[in-house]
Structure formats: C-alpha cells, structure tokens
Structure 1
Amino acid sequence: MLDKRSLVLLKTLVERYIAEGQPVGSRTLSRYSGLDVSPATIRNVMADLEDLGFVTSPHTSAGRIPTPRGYRLFVDSLLTVQPLPSEAVQALESKLDTSDPQRLIASASRLLSDLTHFAGVVMAPKRSTAVRHIEFLSLSERRILMILVSTDGNVQNRILIPDKAFSATELAEAANFFNQNYAGRTLDEVKQAIQDELKALRQDVIALMNAALEAGSAALSEAEDQCVLSGEGKLLEVQDLSANLDRLKRLFSIFEQKTELMQLLALGQQSQGVQIFIGGESGVMPLDECSLVTAPYEVNGRVVGTVGVIGPTRMAYDRVIPIVDITAKLLSSALSYH
C-alpha cells in the first residue's frame, strides 16, 4: 500500500510523462504535484517507487518513467475519466456507416483509429452459417453456378464442376428439395442429414449436394473476417514504437497473424465494460510498449464482440477510454436496430 503522498507523486509523474514523453525529474514533480515537500523528499519517494517496480530510471536521465506496473496502478486507481459530452457523442454517431452490418463494423474500426490516432480494431460477431436459400444455375454442360444466401443476408457464389451433367430441371428440383427441407439449418446439420436421411435420393444428387455444402462452407468461412483492423500505419508515427525496428516488426506480425490479437479481444469480450491490457501483463501480447483498451458490444442484449484501440503504453488513457466506451455503445445500438 502506498501513502497518499506517494500516490499523488506517481499520478503526477505518469501524467507528465504521457503529456511530454520525457523522463520526469523531481523539479517537475514539485511544480505540478501541488505538494509542499522538498526535492529531497520527492527523490526518496521516487526511490521507493522504483524499488516497488512502479517507475524506472532510463540510463540517459536522472528522471523517471512509469513501468507497466505503474501504468496499471494509475489506470486502476488514480485516473479520472470524464464521459464525452452529448454533442461529441452525436458527432461520433453521425460518422458510423449504418447501411449494413459489415460496413458498420468497418466504419467503427476506422472511427476508433481516426479519433485516437492509433490502431482501431473490432472483433466482429461470428456469422451465422445457417442457409436461407440455395440456387443452382447451369453455365455449361459441366459447370454449375451455386448461389447461397445465409440467414444473416450474406450472399456467396461458387462454381461447381460435378462428375455428371445435370439438366436445368434436375438442378431446379435439387434446389427446391434443399430449400423445402433444410432452409434455416446450419451447413453442418445439413451435411449430417444428407448422410443419414437421404438414402432415397440418387447418388449423383447426393454428390451434388455434398459439393455444394463444401463450397458453401468454404465461401462463408472466407467471407468471415472476424477481426477488422484500421489505422495500424498510424503507429509508425508513434516515436515510442517506431524508434525500435524489431519492436515494430513484432507488433505488425501480431497484426498479420491476428491470433494473439483475437485472444486479447476475446478476453475483453468477457468484461463488463472497458478493460485495459498494459504491456505484456496479459501473457498474450508480448510487447511492454503497447496497450490495448477494449470494450464489449452487444446485439439485442447479448455480447457478440469487442472494440478496441491499440497504441503505446504512453497514451492519454483519460481520452481513449471514453472513445472506446461510447463506440461500443453506439455499435451495440446500431447493430441491434439492424
């Protein structure tokens, strides 16, 4: 436990370092903290905070900077966040593209990036793979166009090349049979049904159905981008990150693979509100110089995804947090309306 004086000095140090990007010395702390204490007392407190792992001294300066542990105490206990005024919320809402869910999610990611000047990320809801409707159109003797519409309105086209030629009448009968018996069921359910229930169908029709289901599964999987990332190039302009090429390579490798990022966003989805991952403390993103601020969003009261901002640990958390929070709320409202 730190006493009040130590907490005030730590808060002042983090705020000055975020604002100026330079190690903070005792003279600056004396000027901005509002405490009536001597420089010697401040130096002693700083030494104690360094021993406890909250601050550290760069080799090139007598001043100190916060560690990930210092940032953690700051955001958990010392940070004051003001909600965005209503006119700012309305301005944000007007910038979201609500024409369809996919554009809405992409515009939310861009909005997060534009407002914070860092990378914006949205973990999209997992699409339904249930089929609403299927059609087969003959393109030539052995080429068939499959049109598959999922229950979330996603339309995918694929070319099928079966072993047997089918007439237009046969293709229409196969599509009608599918739509009458299996519309609204998932592709996996239909696959199982074809194996168990369709003994009476001709084997060549079953083969056509199986080919259509495999192509449909692949099409919907390709269309499903579960992590929409925007503005990662803005991080090249952040000196804390761009000063180290190896650090940048690791960060952009995380962006490219998306696996670790998805794991972090999944953790954020489990929280009740804004959650902050600082440096490598999550055990997922291994960069001490990066933080991720996330908030879950809902559709009709059910949490389906996460929005977030990725930036340096030296970010203005009091500004980023309300932006992430209100974007999640606006996205929830817009998706629920859809």
Structure 2
Amino acid sequence: MLDTRAEILLKTLIERYIIEGQPVGSRTLARQAGLELSPATVRNVMADLEDMGLVSSPHTSAGRIPTEQGYRVFVDTLLTVKPLHSSEVLKLEQGMLADQDPQHLIEHTSHLLSTICQLAGIVMAPRREEQPAFLHIDFVALTGRRILVILVTRDGQVHNRIIQAEREYSPADLVQAANYFNETYAGVSMDEVKRSLLKEILQASDDVHRVMQLAAKMARAALDAEGQPDELVVSGESHLMNIPELGDVRKLRKLFDAFSTKRDLLHLLDRSMRAGGVKIFIGSESGYDALTDYSLVTAPYSVDGRVVGTLGVIGPTRMAYEQVISIVDITARLLSGALSSGNRPSHLESSDH
C-alpha cells in the first residue's frame, strides 16, 4: 500500500515520463507534484518506490522511469480516464457508419484505431458460434475445362466460384455429381462438409466412386478458392517504428512476426473477449516474448448483444493510457452498434475504467 504522498509522486512521474520519454529527476518531481517537499525527501520516496519495484534507475541517468509493476499500479489505482469530447465521438461514429459491409467495417475500424492513437490498431473478426448449414450445390460446365460452382447455404448466402477441372466433363456427369452432393450433405454444417470432403478425396477410388470423387474434388476446390476473411486485421504497424524506445530492429521484427502469424495475438484477444470490459496487458503480462516491450489495450464488441470479437491497440508501455482506454472503449461500442441490427448508438459517453 502506498501513502498519499507516494501515490502523487508515482502518478506525476509516470505522467511526465509518458509525455517526454525521459527519466524524471527528483528536482523536477518536487516542482511538478504540487507538494511542498524538498528534493531530498522526494529522493527518499523514490528510493522506497524503487525498493517496491515500481520505478527503476537507468544506468545513464540519475532520474527514474516506471517499471511494468509501476504502470500496473498506475493503471489500476491512479489513472483518471479522460472521456472523449462529444465532437470526437461524433467523428468516430460517422466514420464507423460510412461503410455497411461487415468485413469492411472490421478493416475500417482497425485503420481508425491506428490513425487516432498513432499506434497499431487490431481487430479480431467475429467468431461464429454456429457455422451455416449447406443447402444446395450446382456444377455448370464452361469453356476451357472450367466449371462454375454455385453453392447455397441455409442462411441464404450464395457463393459462385469458377474452378479449373482436370478434364472435360459432360453435363450428365455434373448433374449426377451435384445430385450426389446435395443428397449427402443437405443440412450439414459447412465445417463438417469440408472435413468430410477431405476424407472422401483421400478414400475414394476412380473405379468405384467416380461420381463421389468428382463432386468432392470440385466442391473442395470451390470452398478452398472461396477463402475466409482474415481472423485478425492489423493496421498502422509503421507507427511503432517512429517511437524512440521501440527502435530496436530485432524487437520490432519479433512483433511484426507476431502480426504475421497472428496465433498468439488471437489467443490474447480471445482471453480478452471472455474477460469482458477493457483489458490491459502491460509488457510481459501477456505471456508472449514478442510483446515484452509493448502494451495491449483491448475491449470486446458484440452483435445484437452477443460478444463476438475483440479490438484494441498495441503500443509502447509508455502510452497515453488515459486517452487510449477511452478511444478503445468507445470504438468497441460503436462497432457493436454498426454491426447490430438494432438502433445504432449516438453521442456515446466513455464508461469508467
């Protein structure tokens, strides 16, 4: 537990370090904290805070900087979140509603976060609890051994894909293949269809199951060509290269590799989604080596009241938490409104952290 004097000095030190990025000396703290304390008294308090692991002294300076634990105390107990001005919220809302397509909204939100915060913006695409069920498929012969595959799912989505066949097939072959497929998979989830197709391709023989293999190969090719939206959309990575303390190329390469593979980041965002509310990982708290020098501020978003994904920003541990938390919180709520079928939010106020 910190006494009031220690809390004020720690808060002042961290706020100044966030702004300037330089170690803060005792004389500067004595002036900035608004306390009638001598530099010697401030030094004694700083020594106590250092013993507690909340601040540290870089070898190159007599001043002190916050540690991960210091940032954690600051975020949990000393931070005053700054609500966004109504004009800023309106600007966010107008930008969010500019594009109605869900995938474009996800991409736009990631870009919006990176632009406003001047950090890397990340959005985890919605996780669907239930995959749509297969309804119907048609194969239509085109010229040059090309086949048009028309696939319809139970939720009304129609997917048209052109695939290149290994040889010419007659209209009768294609009708027979489509009939087999429709009879076998009607009402089956698309994930299960894909798994079954892979097994059928491996097990079927041309002699015994020629029609089955034809249907499986063409449907599998169409589904593979269809692709899926990115599970994680990242924008503004270049902003991180402009931050002095993140200038180590090796550290940046680790982070950019994490952006590329996405697995660890998706795991973190999944944890945040389950936790609910604004979640902050500071440095090594994430448990991933690539994020040791960074902080991640996240918030879940929902569709029609059901939490489906997470968004946030990645930046240095020396980030303006009081502003970033508000931006992430409001953006999550605006994205929830934009993706939901009900009335969209207007002139939201930031919730307390």
Tell me, yes or no, whether TM beats 0.5.
yes
2:237 maps to 1:232: yes
Flag the 1:176–1:87 CA change in 2: closer, same or farther, 3 A. Answer: farther
Structure 1 match to 2:56: 56
The letter of the residue matching 2:91 is A
Q: 1:134 aligns to what SS in structure 2?
A: strand
Q: 1:223 aligns to what SS in structure 2?
A: coil
Q: 2:84 aligns to what SS in structure 1?
A: coil
Q: Distance in 2 between matches of 1:77 and 1:91?
A: 30
Q: Distance in 1 between matches of 2:135 and 2:311?
A: 29
Q: Shift of the alpha carbon at 1:203?
A: 3.2
2:311 maps to 1:311: no
Structure 2 match to 1:76: 76
Q: Is the 8 A contact 1:260 1:285 kept in 2?
A: no
2:112 maps to 1:111: yes
Structure 2 match to 1:199: none
Q: Distance in 2 between matches of 1:107 and 1:154?
A: 25
Root mean square deviation of aligned Cα: 2.7
Q: 1:215 aligns to what SS in structure 2?
A: helix
Q: Is the 8 A contact 2:258 2:290 kept in 1?
A: no
Question: Which is worse superposed, 208-217 or 32-41?
Answer: 208-217
Flag the 1:25–1:186 CA change in 2: closer, same or farther, 3 A. Answer: same
Q: Distance in 1 between matches of 2:120 and 2:110?
A: 8
The letter of the residue matching 1:254 is A
Q: Distance in 2 between matches of 1:156 and 1:139?
A: 13
Flag the 1:22–1:217 CA change in 2: closer, same or farther, 3 A. Answer: same
Q: Shift of the alpha carbon at 1:133?
A: 4.7
Corresponding residue to 1:206 among 203, 206, 212: 212
Question: Which is worse superposed, 124-133 or 294-303?
Answer: 124-133
Gaps of 5+ in 1: 197-201
Q: Shift of the alpha carbon at 1:144?
A: 2.0
Q: Shift of the alpha carbon at 1:164?
A: 7.1
Q: Shift of the alpha carbon at 1:255?
A: 1.3
The letter of the residue matching 1:315 is M
2:100 maps to 1:99: yes
Q: Shift of the alpha carbon at 1:156?
A: 5.3
Q: Distance in 2 between matches of 1:148 and 1:155?
A: 5
Q: Shift of the alpha carbon at 1:57?
A: 0.7
Q: Distance in 2 between matches of 1:101 and 1:263?
A: 22
Gaps of 5+ in 2: 201-207, 343-353
Q: 1:311 aligns to what SS in structure 2?
A: strand
Flag the 1:192–1:235 CA change in 2: closer, same or farther, 3 A. Answer: closer
Q: Shift of the alpha carbon at 1:234?
A: 1.2
The count of corresponding residues between Structure 1 and Structure 2 is 330
Structure 2 match to 1:223: 228
Q: TM-score, normalised by structure 2?
A: 0.84
Q: Is the 8 A contact 1:121 1:228 kept in 2?
A: yes
Q: Shift of the alpha carbon at 1:295?
A: 0.4
Q: Shift of the alpha carbon at 1:4?
A: 1.5
Q: Distance in 1 between matches of 2:243 and 2:45?
A: 30
Q: Shift of the alpha carbon at 1:293?
A: 0.5
Q: Distance in 1 between matches of 2:136 and 2:105?
A: 25
Q: TM-score, normalised by structure 1?
A: 0.88
1:1-338 matches, within 5 Å, as 1-96=1-96, 97-126=98-127, 128=131, 130-131=133-134, 133-140=136-143, 142-150=145-153, 151=155, 153=157, 155=159, 157-161=161-165, 165-167=169-171, 169-172=172-175, 174-175=177-178, 178=181, 182=185, 185-190=188-193, 203-220=209-226, 222-242=227-247, 244-337=248-341
Flag the 1:61–1:188 CA change in 2: closer, same or farther, 3 A. Answer: closer
- The sequence identity of aligned pairs, in percent, is 54
Q: Shift of the alpha carbon at 1:149?
A: 4.8
